[in-house]
Amino acid sequence: MFVGGIRALLLQSLHPLAMAGVAGHSGYRGDPWGRLQRTSYFLAVTTFGRASDAKATTERIKAIHRRVTGTAPDGRPYEASDPRLLTWVHIAEADSFLRAHNRFGAQPLDQAGRDGYVADLARIAIELGVPDPPRSEAELAMRISQYRAELRGTPEARAAARFLLLTPPLPAIARAPYGVLAAAATSLLPGWARRPLYLPHLPLTETAVVRPAAHAIIHGIRWAITPPPAAQAS
């Protein structure tokens, strides 16, 4: 989730209207960990919570989206409730979490599992106002390719990437492991997404250093948050 979340934010930033909404309304610089906490709660409650709690959460998010409007630096108006922007945010998240799990998860999914994951996420997307979200891995890839012409690296997107990857407000002890996770997230981006954000492509370093280090850190996080067998049984 750490790796997928960072990748999703980098990928989402490539849509100028989506990035304008984030830059103008989210307060991600002033309170990045509060925003992360709220996002984590949304993911948890829509995945593991009761249907009534998930419904209440999606309704709150839809109400917030209706208030997020403005004009992008290029002069175009935007609305967070725009179905096309909602679709982009959804497919960027779905693709990022799926790729992160396949690369760093303890049990990568087979084809049926990957298609099932995308289909499950579609149920949440529909509640948030996404029309006809993808329901298979192949359809997800096709939808992302359909957005390529709209994506580009704006100054706001590159500033967000620098903030996420280089200058997050973290204590010194956390910077090294976070840097590994951020590098792992970057390694999962395709070249067409890296270039507009000025992110380097270092295949040998990523294969020999970044991915093994990320696996070690993720294994440590997984060990730390997994209850011991006795607790699981109770």
- Reported as type and span, the H/E element at residue 71 is strand 69-71
Residue 155 falls within a domain, yes or no? yes
Top mean pLDDT of 41-50, 153-162, 200-209 is at 153-162
What gap in Å lies between CA 189 and CA 92, rounded to an integer? Answer: 11
Residue 33 falls within a domain, yes or no? no
How much of the chain exceeds pLDDT 70, in percent?
94
Q: Is the pLDDT of residue 231 over 70?
A: no
| The pLDDT value given to residue 31 | 65
Domain region containing 143: 2-28+39-227
Residue 209 falls within a domain, yes or no? yes
Residue 162 falls within a domain, yes or no? yes
Residue 78 falls within a domain, yes or no? yes
CA 78 to chain centre: 21
The end-to-end CA distance of the chain, in Å, is 26
Residue 83 falls within a domain, yes or no? yes
Please, are residues 211 and 184 in contact by the beta-carbon 8 Å criterion? Answer: yes
Residue 233 falls within a domain, yes or no? no
What gap in Å lies between CA 201 and CA 179, rounded to an integer? Answer: 16
Please, are residues 7 and 93 in contact by the beta-carbon 8 Å criterion? Answer: no
Which has the closest alpha carbon to 95: 41, 144, 161, 45? 144
Residue 34 falls within a domain, yes or no? no
CA distance readout (Å), 155 to 32, 55, 60, 107, 163? 19, 36, 30, 38, 12
Residue-wise pLDDT for 7-54, tens only, equals 999 999 999 999 998 887 766 666 666 777 777 888 889 888 999 999
> 26 or 129: whose pLDDT is higher?
129
| The pLDDT value given to residue 193 | 97
Q: Which DSSP state fits 196?
A: G
**Count of structural domains, the chain:** 1
Q: Which DSSP state fits 198?
A: T
What gap in Å lies between CA 78 and CA 82, rounded to an integer? Answer: 8
